[in-house]
Structure 1
Amino acid sequence: MEVPEAHRTICFSSSSHSPTYQALLQAGPHLRPLKQVHARMIVSGLHRSRALITKLLALTCTAGSIGYSRLLLFSVPNPDSFLFNSLIKASSKSGFSSDAIFFYQRMLLTQLGPSNFTFTSVVKACADLSALEIGRVVHSHSLACGFDSDCFVQAAFISLYAKSGDLGTARKVFDRMPERTIVAWNAMISGYEQNGLGKEAVELFYQMRDAGIKPDSATLVSLLSACSHLGHLSLGQWVNDYIVDHGLDVNVILGTSLINMYSRCGNVSKARETFDGMIERNVIAWTAMISGYGMHGFGDEAVELFHRMRAAGPRPNDITFVAVLSACAHAGLVREGCEAFACMEQDYGLLPRVEHHVCMVDMFGRAGFLDEAIQFIRKSICGEPAAAVWTAMLGACKMHKDFDLGVEVAERLQSIEPENPGHYVLLSNIFALAGRMDQVEMVRNMMIRKGLKKQVGYSLIEIDHVAHMFRMGDISHPQTEEIYGYLEELVSRMREAGYVPETESVMHDLEEEEREFALRFHSEKLAIAFGLMNTGGGTLIRIVKNLRMCSDCHLAIKFISIVACREIIVRDKHRFHHFKEGSCSCQDYW
C-alpha cells in the first residue's frame, strides 16, 4: 500500500548539504514531512545553513503554515535580505498578504535594504488586501530607495492603484515611467477595464500599438473584456484574427474571453464556434457559453448545454446555476428552471445564494406567476429577503400591472434601501400606470428632497471602428440636425405602417403630444437613426444600451426593422434583442 505523499518519512544523509536539499524538494509543500526535515537539520547541525533554512521557510509558507514560518524566522539569527525576500515572495504568492507586509516590516527593522523583488511582492500583497494607504507608504519608501525608474516596481504600483480605484495616480505613475514594458501597459489597460472604463482601455491599447509594443495574452484578455462591455465587435474580431495570425495558444482564459466577447457583442454563433474549438474547457468556459445563450434568449440551447455539461463536462458551480436559471427566466422555461434549482442542492450540495433566489423570482414573475413568486420568497428564503429579490418582484408587478402588490413591494424596498433611486422610479411608474398621479408627484418630490437622481441612459453604436454615444435628446453630435430630420421622417413612415407610440408609463403630467415627442428622442432611437444614415442597405445595426429598453422603443424598433428593411440588434441591461421583419427574438418576453 502506497503511503500518501504528505505522510511520507523523508530519509537522507547528513554528510552534506545536497541530500538535505533534495529531501526538502521531495517533501514539497506539505507540513508534516517538512517538520521531519527540520528536525533532522537540527540534529545534524544543518539548521545553521542559511540556504537550507531559507528554502525550508519558503516551503512551509507555501504549505499554508504561516505560523510555523514565523517561528522559523524568529529562530534564525541575523536573517539576511535574501531570506526575507524569499519569505515575502512566498507568503504574497500563497495568499498570506498581511503576513507578507509583516515580514516586510520585520525586514525594515533589521535595517536591511529591500530590492525590487521585495517591493513587487509587498505591493502585490497591498493590492490583494486593497490596503491603499499602506501601499502609498511603501511607494514613498521605494522612491527613497531609488526604485522610481525600475519598470517592474512601478508596474506593480500601477496595479495597486488601479485595483484600489485610484486610476488618476495609476496613470501618473504610468506616464512618468521612462521606459514602459508590456507589464506596465497591461497593468494600466487592465486597470481601466476593471474599473468600467473600457473606452479608455481601448484608447490606451491603440497608443501601445503605435508605440510598437506587441500585445501578449494578458493584453488580449483585457482588451476582449473591454470589447465585451462596449459592444466593440470589430476590435474583438481583430483580436481573434491577431491570435490566429500569430499562432497564439488559445488557452482556457483566452478562449473564455473570446466566448464572452462574441456573446456580449451579439454573435452567439461565433461564440459557440469558439467554444467547440477549445481543446480544454473548464467550468468557467462552459458557464460563459451557457450565459451567452441565456442573454440572447436561447433558453433551450442553454439548458441542453447544461445537461451536456452535467453528463460529460466539469462539475457545475454556483455561477453555472445562475447562468442556467437566468436563461430559463428569459425564455419562460419555468419547469426547466425549477428542475435546475432543485438539483443544485440535491445533486451538488450547493446552497442557493441571493443571485439564485433573484433568478427564480424573476422567472416566476416574467411568466406571470406572481403568486408562485411570492410563495417562493416566503418558503425558500430564510430571514429578510435581499433587496435584489424584491426588485425582481417589483419588476414583475410592473410588467403584469399588479399595482396593489407592486406598491406593497416598492414600499418594502424603500425601507431596505432608502437611497436607491431605482426603487422610486419603479414605484412612480407603477403609480402612473394605475393613474394615481398624486402619488407620482409625491414620489418625485421625495426623490428631490433626498437628492436622488435617475441613472442617465445612453446608447452606443460603432461605425467604421469608431464608437458613437447618444443620450436622450442629445444635440452634441456633429450630425445632430441630420439625425433628427431623418428620425422624423422614419417615424412618419412607421406611423403609416401602423406604429402607435406607447405613452402610458411616461410622464403623465405632460400632454399626449409632449409625451410622444419625449419618447421619440430616446437614445437608442437616435443611435439607430445615425446607424441607418451612415451604413449601406442590408448592413446589420448593433446598439448597446446601459439601461433596460422602454416598451415604446421596443415597439418602435420592430417597425423600424420593417420600414428600413434592416436587422437590428440591441443589447440592453438585461439581454439581447434581435429585431427582424417586425419581430423580436425575445417574443415580447422580456
Structure 2
Amino acid sequence: MQLQGVAPDRVALIAALGACQDPSRLAAGVGIHSRITEAGLQGDIVISNALVNMYGKCGALESACEIFHGVPRNDAISWNGMISLYAQDGHSREEALELFRRMHGEGLTPNKVTFLAILSAVSGARGLEEGRKIHTQVVESGYSGELSVGNALIDMYSKCGSLEDARKTFAGMDEKNKPDLVLWTAMIAAYAGHGDYKEAFELFQQMQDQGLKPDKSLVSIGNAIVHMYGKCGNVADARKMFDKMKERDTVSWTTMIAVYAEHGYDREALQIFKVMLLESVAPDKVTLINVLDACSNVSGLAQGRLVYKQFVESGAHELDLVLGNAVARMFGSCGSLREAREIFESLAARDVVSWNCLITAYAQHGSFEESLRLFRRMLEECVKPDEVTFVGVLSACSHGGLVADGCQFFVSMVQDYQIPAEEIHYGCMVDLLGRAGRLAEAEELLSRLPCAATNDVMWTSLLSSCKLHSDLDRGKRAAKKLLAMVPGDPSHLLALATIHAASGEWKEAMRIRKEVMERCSGAARGGAGGMSRIEVNGQVHKFVV
C-alpha cells in the first residue's frame, strides 16, 4: 500500500498493529506507531487501545503506559487492556489493583472482562482481603453466575490460600452451571494444589459420576494426584485414583508404573504395563525406563528382554543415553553380562551412569577382575567416578579378596576424588576386611564410626566373618551389638547360638535355639515369613520361605 503511495487508513493501521503481537515484531510496531502519528490519528481511542495492546504484547509495558495516560478520556476497553497487561506482567500486580481502583473512582463500571483481568492479579495471603472485596463487587455487578468469573474466583482464592472461600464459590454457582467441566477442573486443581488429595479425589469421582468426561487438563490433574499419593507412600490410594480415571493418557499409565516400582511393587508394575499394551496405549521413553528398572529389581530377564525387543521393533524411539543405561542396567542386574556389555559398547556417548551399570553388574555376578578393568578404563577415558562407582569397585574387591586394592581405592575415593565416605562404603570396607580375616581392623573401623554412621548390615557382616574365621569372642560382641540394634531378630539369635555352641556353651546355645523355634512358630501362625522371587516362563513369582 505504502509502495503505491497510498496512505494506510484507520482500519489498515489497526490490522497492522494486530499483526505485531510478539517481542520480535516490536520494531515493526514502532514503525506503525510513527505512521499513526504522521496521519494525526493518535487521538483515536480505538487506535490508542490497539497501540496499548501491541506494546503490552511486545513486552514494552512503559510505552503502553505512556499511550494509555496520553489519552484524555479512556473507555472501558482501554482500562481493561491496561489492567490485563499489569496483571500478566507479574511484577506489576499492585499497579493493576491501583488502576482498578482508579477506574472505579472515575465512574466507569467494571464489566466481566475487567473482573477476569483483576482477579488474575490477586494472589498470596496478603491479597485475600482485596480478593474478597472484588468478589463483593462481582456479586453487586451481577456477574457471580458467570462460569468464567466463577472459575477466576476459585483460582484467585486458591492462590490466596483460602480453600474455604473457593469451596463456597464452587457451591454457590447456579445449579445449571455446576456441570461445567472447567468449573470442576478449577476446584479439583485448587484442592490438588494445596495437597488436599483426598478432597480432590472425591470431587474427581463426583464429577465423573455426573457423566462429565475429563479433558486433557483434568487428566493431568488426575496424574498429579496419582503421583503425589505415590510420593507420600500411599500406593493403595494412588491405584484407586488411577482406577477412577475414565480417561487416561500415556503419562497416567507411566505414573502408576513408577509408583509401583518406587515402592518395591515391581511385579505389579510389570502387570500394569501389560494391561497398558493390551489397551493399545503407546509407551514413551519414561514408561520403558520404569518398566526396565522393575525388571532389574525382580531379575525378570525374559520380560526385560521382551520389552527391549518390542522397543527395537517399534522404531518409535532412539536408544539414547538414558534409555541405553536403563537397558544395560536391566541386563546387568539380571545376570546377562554379555548383553549388558553389548548395549554399553553400542552407546554413542557414555556418562558415569553407563560405567556404573557395568562395573556394578560385573561385581554382583562374580566377574571381579573385569569390574576393576572396566573401572581403570573409565579413568583412562577421563570419566570422573562418583560415589556409586566406588560402591561397585569396593564390592568387587571385597568379594574377590582384593584387600590391598580395596584399601587403595577407598583412600583414593576420599583423598583424590573428594567423595565423602557414606554408610555403604564403610559397609564394603568392613566386609572386605572381615572376609580377609582381618577382623580386628574391621571391628576397629566400626568402633571408630559415629553411631549414626553404623547400621545392622555392617555388624551382620562382621558377625558372618567371625563365624567364618571362628573368632568366638569378637563374634559374641558383634551378636550382642546386633541384638541391641535389632532386638529379637531370629537370624542374629541363631548366629549367637552357633557361637555359644562352638565355645562349648551348650546350655546357652540350646536355650537360644529354643527361643528362636518358639518365635518362628508364632510367626508362622501369624503368616509372617521371608519372601523370595523366581521367574518361570516369563512370569515373576513371589513366595514365602
TM-score by length of 1: 0.59
Tell me the residue number matched to 1:465.
538
SS at match of 1:462: strand
Which of 241, 245, 259 matches 1:191? 259
Q: 1:424 to 1:109 in 2, by over 3 A?
A: same
Q: 1:114 to 1:445 in 2, by over 3 A?
A: farther
Instruction: Give CA-to-partner distance per residue, 1:518-559, whole Å, 9 cap, x none.
Output: xxxxxxxxxxxxxxxxxxxxxxxxxxxxxxxxxxxxxxxxxx
Q: Which amino acid aligns with 1:205?
A: F
Tell me the residue number matched to 1:520.
none
Q: Which runs of 5+ in 2 are unaligned?
A: 1-26, 31-50, 70-78, 93-122, 136-148, 171-181
Task: Establish whether residue 220 from structure 1 lines up as the match of residue 288 from structure 2.
Answer: yes
Tell me the residue number matched to 1:135.
197
Tell me the residue number matched to 1:488.
none
Structure number, greater radius of gyration: 2
Instruction: Give CA-to-partner distance per residue, 1:393-433, whole Å, 9 cap, x none.
Output: 12221222212111111111222232544433433343355
Tell me the residue number matched to 2:330.
261
Task: Establish whether residue 239 from structure 1 lines up as the match of residue 307 from structure 2.
Answer: yes
Q: 1:19 to 1:285 in 2, by over 3 A?
A: farther
Tell me the residue number matched to 2:146.
none
| Shift, 1:236, TM fit | 0.8
| Shift, 1:119, TM fit | 4.9
Tell me the residue number matched to 1:174.
242
Asked if the contact 1:21/1:52 (under 8 Å) is kept, the reply is: no
| Shift, 1:363, TM fit | 0.9
Tell me the residue number matched to 1:318.
387
Structure 1 CA distance for aligned equivalents of residues 434 and 483 of structure 2: 20
Tell me the residue number matched to 2:33.
none
| Shift, 1:108, TM fit | 3.2
Tell me the residue number matched to 1:284.
353
Structure 2 CA distance for aligned equivalents of residues 350 and 124 of structure 1: 38
Q: Which amino acid aligns with 2:291?
A: L
Relative to its length, the structure with more helix (as a share) is 2
Q: Which amino acid aligns with 1:108?
A: A
Structure 2 CA distance for aligned equivalents of residues 125 and 365 of structure 1: 51
Asked if the contact 2:301/2:331 (under 8 Å) is kept, the reply is: yes
Which of 216, 223, 226 matches 1:158? 226
Structure 2 CA distance for aligned equivalents of residues 282 and 412 of structure 1: 41
| Shift, 1:310, TM fit | 3.5
Task: Establish whether residue 331 from structure 1 lines up as the match of residue 400 from structure 2.
Answer: yes
Q: 1:108 to 1:448 in 2, by over 3 A?
A: farther
Tell me the residue number matched to 1:356.
425
Structure 2 CA distance for aligned equivalents of residues 265 and 311 of structure 1: 28
Which of 166, 170, 179 matches 1:108? 166
Structure 1 CA distance for aligned equivalents of residues 402 and 156 of structure 2: 55
Q: Which runs of 5+ in 1 are unaligned?
A: 1-11, 25-36, 59-68, 89-99, 127-133, 473-590
Q: 1:51 to 1:217 in 2, by over 3 A?
A: farther
Structure 1 CA distance for aligned equivalents of residues 161 and 254 of structure 2: 28
SS at match of 1:285: helix
Asked if the contact 1:54/1:83 (under 8 Å) is kept, the reply is: no
Tell me the residue number matched to 1:394.
463
Bigger relative contact order (CA 8 A; separation at least 6):
1
Structure 2 CA distance for aligned equivalents of residues 244 and 51 of structure 1: 50
Tell me the residue number matched to 2:40.
none
SS at match of 2:416: helix
Asked if the contact 2:329/2:340 (under 8 Å) is kept, the reply is: yes
Matches within 5 A, 1:368-387: 368-379=437-448, 385-387=454-456
| Shift, 1:177, TM fit | 2.9
Asked if the contact 2:296/2:334 (under 8 Å) is kept, the reply is: yes
| Shift, 1:237, TM fit | 0.9
Q: Which amino acid aligns with 1:347?
A: D
Asked if the contact 1:57/1:73 (under 8 Å) is kept, the reply is: no
TM-score by length of 2: 0.64
Equivalences, count: 420
Matches within 5 A, 1:439-454: 439-444=508-513
Asked if the contact 2:157/2:163 (under 8 Å) is kept, the reply is: no
Structure 1 CA distance for aligned equivalents of residues 325 and 485 of structure 2: 37
SS at match of 2:535: strand
Asked if the contact 2:270/2:294 (under 8 Å) is kept, the reply is: yes
Asked if the contact 1:149/1:177 (under 8 Å) is kept, the reply is: no
Structure 1 CA distance for aligned equivalents of residues 380 and 164 of structure 2: 52
Sequence identity, in percent? Answer: 28
